[in-house]
Amino acid sequence: MFQGTDVSILSLDDLNYADEIEETGNTFEENALIKAREIFERFRKPVIADDSGLNVEQLNGEPGIYSARFAGDNCTYDDNNKKLISVLKKYPEPHFAKFVCCAVFLSNENQFVEYGFLEGKIINSSTGKNGFGYDPIFIPNENGGIKTLAEYTLEEKNVISHRKRAFEKLKNQIKKLRE
């Protein structure tokens, strides 16, 4: 993501940080900032963090920040997909949804927050083997809206990803600091 810049990225593994950071915020932004602040306080280095999930229009934005545990604690991706399909059965199609990513940069002097979105719709059965999470039941509007994210290759998915969009914006903010 930061190729072509002089920014060096260290992962939490690189820092030998394995603690679970509790996401207690009410929004993607609050959760991303909680993670960034925790790591910044620990290492005193500039930090990039994110939070993301799926917002479904007919469910007033749910599962939202609870996307990873929509079907309960310790649930699988398949459990989440089945629950979402079940909940949406009482609503007419199409089931408009969007993936949301909030990416943040935090340092001593700066804090940037950027969002990326991928709009599409939820379908009633899983299709495709690639990806993870809600990918098998989400058809993005891009490329004619004819296949689920799980039918995209990783390279194809990364071109349209909500995360890519958020991090590209964040990268541009960071580049401005270095000019």
Catalytically annotated residues: 51
Q: What is the DSSP string of 51-117?
A: EEEEEEGGGTT-EETTGGGTT-TT--HHHHHHHHHHHHTTSPSPEEEEEEEEEEEE-SS-EEEEEEE
Number of Cβ within a 10 Å radius of residue 75: 14
Handedness of CA 32, 37, 38, 43 (dihedral sign): positive
The β-bridge partners of 122 are: 95, 138
Rounded to an integer, what is the distance from CA 49 to the centroid of its chain? 11
- DSSP 3-state of 120: strand
Encoded tokens for 73: 């604690």
